[in-house]
Structure 1
Amino acid sequence: MKQEEKEQINETYNDYVESVTPKANLWLRMAKAFLVGGLICLLGQCIINIGKKYGLDDQTAASYCSLTLVFLSALLTGTGIYPVIASFGGAGALVPITGFANSVAATAHGFKVEGHVFGVGARIFQIAGPVILYGIFSSWILGLIYWFMTTLGM
């Protein structure tokens, strides 16, 4: 095959891929993500406000908020509702703490057929593991930078 034929085949293939690839409306996707993420944050703020109304201090109310959002995310993942929310809201549903809980619960739910030890136990952090690893590592690096800068008096 000559070089010209290869280029013609590649060009034809690229044209085909472009024609069948769905075009995403960026502005609509951003609006959906903003809406879903905003609603999750609104729910979290309502939980904090209710906690404060019943006499909890700021830290305790925030802790109850996180626990409640993680619980709701895991529950909605198990019932199949959160994946629908995530497919609609995109990053708006996957970025907050609820998205992290969803990734852990979805993995556990998906591998439960393989048993508790080799299914759920071995693979529960398959998706969330890298997030935990790099979150801890970057926190460590930033801690070193902070310590170094405070040592130099910056």
Structure 2
Amino acid sequence: MATKTKQDPDLKMTKALYQQHAAKYQPQRNVLLNSWRAFWVGGTICLLGQVIQKFYMSVFDFTDKTAGNPTVATLIFISVLLTGFGVYDNIGQYAGAGSAVPVTGFANSIASAAIEHRSEGYVLGVGGNMFKLAGSVIVFGVVAAFVAALIKTLMRMIWPG
């Protein structure tokens, strides 16, 4: 036999009341400090890329255009190496978006997933899981490139010149 209980009016929690109560326990974020960390770490990654590009241009006689691909490949290699040693995760914790936005962050997301799932095997573990996070970035990049190329082609058809 079910008994009816009176609901205490003080225990009635609305969504707004819950959010107000939960806000008291959330840590305050220092936006200025986080922005500064993202700025200088992201800038340092870009500076490293510039130094690598200048190295390829001076040592291997690449041009501005031909030095770009080996520079990106080198940055990706460094990022994956640092991810494997567990260093890039610490950089990411410190810098936030400053380490996630450059191509090194993309390489880190793929390498981290591959390392995490390697115990499940190469095909189902590494191959099946390494693009879970990065897959959406790849799809968005391909779709955005297609739309941009389509717009450019249509603009040339409308206004040749």
Q: Give the one of 109, 112, 123 matched to 1:117.
A: 123
Q: Deviations over 1:101-120 (max 9, x none)?
A: 00110110111111111100
In structure 1, the partner of 2:62 is 56
In structure 2, the partner of 1:131 is 137
Consecutive unaligned residues of structure 2, counting only runs of 5 or more, are 1-5
Shift of residue 40, structure 1, vs aligned partner: 0.1
Shift of residue 150, structure 1, vs aligned partner: 1.0
Shift of residue 5, structure 1, vs aligned partner: 5.5
What amino acid is the match of 1:57? T
TM-score (norm 1): 0.91
Greater share of helix: 1
TM-score (norm 2): 0.87
Distance in 2 separating the partners of 1:49 and 1:145: 34
1:42 paired to 2:44: no
Consecutive unaligned residues of structure 1, counting only runs of 5 or more, are none
In structure 2, the partner of 1:25 is 30
Backbone CA RMSD of aligned residues: 1.8
Distance in 1 separating the partners of 2:134 and 2:93: 18
What amino acid is the match of 1:131? V
- Alignment identity in percent? 38
Distance in 2 separating the partners of 1:63 and 1:139: 18
**Structure of higher CA gyration radius:** 2
Matched position secondary structure for 1:24: coil
Q: Give the one of 87, 91, 94 matched to 2:97.
A: 91
Matched position secondary structure for 1:59: coil
In structure 1, the partner of 2:109 is 103
